[in-house]
A and B are shown apart, each in its own frame.
Chain A
């Protein structure tokens, strides 16, 4: 089962090696480049290819970011999940360092890139990917390196995500509860899938090594404590915690306790698969008058309480690729034709609950198609929105206790927001 990467490659969009780090000396860059260029040549777009490929005894795994491909090569039966995830983490680290990871930023920083690749992976085994701590001892500003560096304690500590001795004048924590609603409605108007993915996003500005404890209205916990859970408690399907949370402790008594990293991170994510009423319902009626003209009537209805308001609502309505001369009228907001997406884009700045708005559009379709032409790409209607001060799940942060040995008082700020995730309604 043991296995590790032989080399890690950073390739440009054409599949040429920009920088590579050889960990085991058994895969050459020529070999890897040959594999990858062949792959791109065949399909033109590596994004549609299986991310795991095999050629001449070597397994290649890759991910894409902007105009750069990151790829590992291996001759062993290595852990595919771990290596692919590692590549994504490498992207995160590079982004932290260079703001954006792209061909140019790699060239501009190749010295640091080599240093990072040396530190993040050893002999093909992922080692360390905490960007914040890495930047304490691998710096881009060369002259600062003159000071003899030591590896921060954190690199090998049990608390590997936070360095000691952090100081803030004002100790604050910002906690954003962000819920994304994913929904899939089929052409019969049936909801075939709906779930909510929530994230507790934290930004911490805390001194020292603070011990935090978070309380949620988690039904399991409240029941265990013998409290009444009427109406307020929620069931979370699957919870995932940042590595700072003590998992064994959570398993024992459902307490969420942790020493947070400095700065922003996702403390936890959770999923709710209970059926929720679609927050914004969109219905489209499409009438084709003759072969050259079509009329679309769209109704959008908000199905949440009147005191909530959705903002930045964007409804993307797919239209045939050859549509021209759109004549659009809306009862609210503005709509425009986005030919690059083959869609009409209807934007509504503010959409209060319990309202219904309409859009009418007329389009001409100049192209003549064969009777038995292949079907057109059937894109669904897609909706984007944000509803502040509201969560679908009803999750509540009951408390966030922060205890540090210096005894300072820290202020937690909590915010709730719901937004559309993959919100798709298939057209008839």
Chain B
């Protein structure tokens, strides 16, 4: 049955469009049809054939169904770009909607609904009205969906013309397919409307349950999804509903099964009889297990859902853990999800078998999977007290294999286990803390990941009194102290203090001097410095108090990292089988479809031309060119003075150790869609440092407001969320004007953000510098620190223009000591105009110009907030390298910063 349509893709030497035009107007039917096919082929490969609109539409009146379909397809694609010509098609559409052939009638309404041109929509109403009452169910089912299409384009029209009532009538249609489509259409309309449009009464419920038995598999999904919103009046009604839905669990279509599961789970909430509930759980288990024999993509969706289901009803699959054991050929994304569920189902009864599996996985080749398997062992240890020792033995066996990343992961995990059981591992066991630590120490030299290093150091500090050579071990790290990442430095500092407090001998005393010196004088990291000072002060004033603080008993941790909050879980369970249940996020977090009214501006479909990418509709208005101050993403910036960002205690919060109580901080992560694509930003935190998280950032000025433009790219294997940002004290007192709003970043995705900034919030004393130290944290990773360079340019305000007279006056009034100049031998000024344009773009305003020999001398003014003016004199010979820049300003200490910025600006 193979076709030979590929011949239509070939091009001819002669101009293609004129040739096609000629063929489209041929007197021969076959030739016209071939020509339309060529047009569609061109459209398929992305060529713009919209100029043939009239010629193609002329072929519309045909008896040939295939040709008609092609012309319709063309119309769907190009009507939008040719709205005035599209009207030519209306007559044929209306005529076709009354054709004796039901295929053509439905084709006409279906296509008209797809053409989002107002002029066409107006004419759609009458045919749609007729088709909703058509004799043929095929036409009615198409018309039902068409109402939803029309509602999407023009909701008012749908309501005014009474289509909603007609659609509701279709719920009682005698044809199950029509009922199903009407349900789908109504459910969608309800979603976008705030008024109650589609309310399921017990009467509609029973009708729909009957239709369920007869409609196609896809229709069953529509109906089940809509019905899962129905709230039964009491337990009896709930039981009745469940009884009628359970047969769907036997359906071969996985989507039907999952939607049936959703509905049963919803109704089960109302059922009080424990017997009934137990029985239902028993009934649901086998179908859920069978989903794991489906195609891997479906398995993935099923596993994400099972993850939710076992959190609510752990008993359902309590005995089925074996089906989640990974198969050799499972795709990695299936394996990862299976592992997650295995942890959830692990119990004292099955832990031995589970550990054997984890051990097996920990020797596979996929590094991420291996790491996750090792972590899984740790999570089981934390969850099951009685199995903790067995878990540790497995981890120790894995360490002996000496695969570097396994060792490091195992050490991190053992640190967590120690935090969970600080002293309570059984004394009868051959495993003592000493022997475990001894095994860990064998791998000391191979550690190169910050988290593993930090964990090892934590263990040494915490158990210093039990380790004979703790001081030697720590000392070995001290040599490289300045080069270590912040995370490791902080742990080293604390561990050394712990060691000193536990063993106040000479060795540790010397070490503590070295560390404190390193951590206060030598470092730029404020967290480290502050913590070191606190320790120092404590140790020098009251060593006993230091003990109470540093060696205080720590709260015992528990593994709730993957437990969802009850209300969120409720929400997600109501959304089983949907994307929400796959993401484990409420729909609001990712649904970007907004009401049509806001979409009229949007004009995408570049169709081969380079008009650029269409932005998501909700952001169509705030693409980069338009003022971001009006953007919905930065509401803080609009209309009111930027509020001061609260400055939380740098010591406590950023370390993240006890960050659980930061709810009273204003830094609350809010999930919100992010800013669309923009210019490239310099990388400030490379993915290699950030465990896969890459951050690019730059300060920018837009419409009088300073923003920190950030790009987060998640190259790790885990979703990252709960992003927060904090700025260290800096010369300009730059701080965030509001919380950082970055949505959860799934692996492989990225998010942009324009963070509004305020000035003079936490001003650092000392000579001005351009250093901006930033800390970013999220819920999954350690805190990342990076430094950025502030360009003075972003501070130049829009009102920096001076009158000539004022300029001269100011120049004269400032003493000569305030004049600083610098030569830039590398900069060439090629044109005065271009240079001035460039300077003006950065709010440096041209005052005057004079010629001195062959030199051009330019005078400009600029202003930074709080009114400091900069008077600038630039001297250069056009086209010859070498530029002299002199400035006069009340704050000459800013001069180096100014020169740095202007150099970057003029060099680029």
Known: A25-B116, A108-B3. 16 other contacts (CB 8 A): A1-B229, A25-B80, A47-B331, A50-B333, A52-B301, A52-B583, A56-B616, A77-B578, A79-B255, A85-B294, A108-B2, A118-B69, A149-B103, A151-B102, A374-B403, A378-B364
From B171-179, B470-478, B488-496, B506-514, the one touching the partner chain is B171-179
**Contact partner of A247 among B187, B213, B287, CB < 8 A?**
B213
Asked if B258 is at the interface (CB within 8 A of a chain A CB), the reply is: yes
B residues less than 8 Å from A111 (CB atoms): 3, 5, 37, 40, 66, 70
Lowest 4 CB-CB distances: which A-B pairs, in order? A238-B286, A57-B592, A57-B616, A2-B187
Within 8 A of B (CB), among A217-250: 237-243, 246-248, 250
Chain A residues packing against B (C-beta within 8 Å): 1-4, 17-19, 22-26, 28-31, 34, 39, 42, 47-59, 61-63, 74-82, 84-88, 97-99, 104-105, 107-112, 114-115, 118, 122-123, 125-129, 137, 140-142, 145-146, 148-151, 155-156, 158, 160, 184, 186-188, 192-193, 195, 197, 237-243, 246-248, 250-251, 266, 268-269, 271, 273, 372, 374-380, 422, 424, 426
CA distance A376 to B296 in the complex (A): 25
> Which residues 202-251 of B sit at the A interface, judged by CB distance below 8 A?
213-218, 221-222, 225-226, 228-229, 244, 246-248, 250-251
Residues 140-172 of chain B: 1 if any A CB is under 8 Å from the residue's CB, otherwise 0? 011001101100100000000000000000000
* B664: Cβ under 8 A from any A Cβ: no
B591 within 8 A of A: yes
B252 touches A145 (CB 8 A): no
Chain B residues with CB under 8 Å of A86's CB are 218
Q: Bound state CA distance, A375 and B407, in angstroms? A: 13
Contact of B592 among A58, A104, A115, A376 (CB under 8 A): A58
Bound complex: CA A44 to CA B356 (Å):
32
Q: Which residues of B contact A77 (CB under 8 A)?
A: 575, 578-580, 587, 590-591
Q: List 29 A-B contacts (CB under 8 A).
A: A1-B187, A1-B575, A26-B599, A28-B614, A51-B300, A52-B301, A56-B615, A56-B677, A57-B618, A57-B673, A75-B593, A81-B302, A81-B577, A82-B218, A85-B298, A88-B295, A88-B297, A108-B3, A109-B3, A110-B40, A123-B114, A125-B181, A148-B65, A149-B65, A149-B103, A155-B138, A155-B177, A186-B360, A273-B289
Contact B360 A127 (CB under 8 A): no
A184 to B325, CA, bound (A): 9
Contact across chains for B5 and A107 when beta carbons are under 8 A apart: yes
**B282: min CB distance to chain A, Å:** 11
Q: How far is the CA of A292 from the CA of B574 in the complex (A)?
A: 59
CB pair B403 A372 closer than 8 Å: yes
A1 with B593: CB separation less than 8 A = no
Q: Give bound CA distance, A422 to B873, whole Å.
A: 79
Q: Chain A contact residues: over half helix, strand or loop, or mixed?
A: mixed
CB atoms of A76 and B591 under 8 A apart: yes
Q: How far is the CA of A22 from the CA of B149 in the complex (A)?
A: 13
Q: Is B461 an interface residue (CB 8 A)?
A: no
Tell me which residues across on chain B come within 8 A of A426, comparing CB atoms: 360
Chain A residue with Cβ nearest B289: A238
Q: Are A145 and B360 in contact (CB under 8 A)?
A: no
Is B300 touching A238 in the complex (CB atoms < 8 A)?
no
Question: Which residues of chain A are within 8 angstroms of B738 by Cβ–Cβ distance?
Answer: none
Asked if A107 and B218 make an inter-chain contact with CB atoms under 8 angstroms apart, the answer reads no
**B676: contacting residue among A56, A184, A248, CB under 8 A:** A56
Whether A107 and B6, one on each chain, are in contact in the complex, defined by CB atoms closer than 8 angstroms, is yes
B352 to chain A, nearest CB (A): 11
Residue numbers in A under 8 Å from B619 (CB-CB): 57
Q: Are A149 and B225 in contact (CB under 8 A)?
A: no
Q: Is the interface of B mostly helix, strand, loop or mixed?
A: helix
Q: Which residues of B contact A146 (CB under 8 A)?
A: 64
Q: How far is the CA of A141 from the CA of B258 in the complex (A)?
A: 39
Residues of B within 8 A of A115 (CB): 66, 69
Judging by beta carbons under 8 Å apart, are B579 and A74 in contact?
Answer: yes
In angstroms, how far is the closest chain A Cβ from the Cβ of B590?
6
B293 at the interface (CB under 8 A from A): yes
B577 touches A80 (CB 8 A): yes
| Chain B residues near A251 (CB-CB < 8 A) | 246-247, 250
Q: Which residues of B contact A75 (CB under 8 A)?
A: 591-593, 616
Q: How far is the CA of A39 from the CA of B106 in the complex (A)?
A: 38
- Complex Cα gap A77–B590 (Å): 8
For B590, what are the chain A residues with a Cβ–Cβ distance below 8 Å? 54, 57, 59, 77
CB within 8 Å for A81 and B69 given contacts A109-B5, A126-B218: no
Q: Are A137 and B218 in contact (CB under 8 A)?
A: no
Interface stretch among B307-315, B742-750, B808-816? Answer: B742-750
* Residues from chain B with Cβ under 8 Å of A23 in the complex: 114
Cβ of A122 and Cβ of B110 under 8 Å apart? yes
Q: Please indicate the chain B residues that have their CB under 8 angstroms from the CB of A112 in the complex.
A: 3, 5
Contacts of B747 in A (CB 8 A): 50
B290 within 8 A of A: yes
User: Do the beta carbons of B333 and A63 come within 8 Å of each other?
Assistant: no
CB atoms of A375 and B403 under 8 A apart? yes
A375: chain B residues at CB < 8 Å are: 363-365, 401, 403
Does residue B657 face the partner (Cβ distance < 8 Å to A)? no
Q: Report whether B748 and A39 are in contact in the complex, using a CB–CB cutoff of 8 Å.
A: yes
With contacts A49-B748, A380-B328 known, is A239 near B250, CB below 8 A? yes
Beta-carbon contact of A379 and B70 below 8 Å:
no
User: Closest approach, in angstroms, between the C-beta of B515 and any C-beta of chain A?
Assistant: 32
Measured between C-beta atoms, what is the minimum distance from B789 to chain A in Å?
29
> A42 with B103: in contact, given A110-B41, A375-B365 (CB under 8 Å)?
no
Chain B positions within 8 Å of A97 at CB level: 1
The answer on a CB contact under 8 Å between B251 and A241 is yes
Q: Could you say which residues of chain A place their CB within 8 Å of the CB of B618?
A: 57
Q: How far is the CA of A146 from the CA of B64 in the complex (A)?
A: 6
Q: Return B210 CB to nearest CB of chain A, in Å.
A: 10
- Nearest to B225 among chain A residues (CB) is A1
Contact A61 B3 (CB under 8 A): no
B225 contact set on A, CB distance < 8 A: 1-2, 79
Q: Let me know if B258 and A81 touch, CB within 8 A.
A: yes
> Which of A51, A123, A242 touches B333 (beta carbons < 8 Å)?
A51
B9 partner residues in chain A, CB cutoff 8 A = 107
Contact for A192 among B2, B302, B353, B677, CB less than 8 A:
B353
Query: From residue A232, how far is it (CB to closest CB) to chain B in Å?
Result: 22
Given A48-B333, A140-B3, A158-B176, A82 contacting B221 (CB threshold 8 A): yes
- Which of A1, A97, A129, A155 has the most C-beta atoms of chain B within 10 angstroms of its own C-beta? A1
State the CA gap A372–B400 with chains docked (Å).
11
Taking CB atoms, residues of chain A closer than 8 Å to B357 are: 192
Chain B residue at minimum C-beta to C-beta distance from A19: B44
B77 within 8 A of partner (CB):
yes
Among residues of B, the one whose C-beta sits closest to the C-beta of A371 is B402
Taking CB atoms, residues of chain B closer than 8 Å to A137 are 103
Chain B positions within 8 Å of A25 at CB level: 80, 114, 116
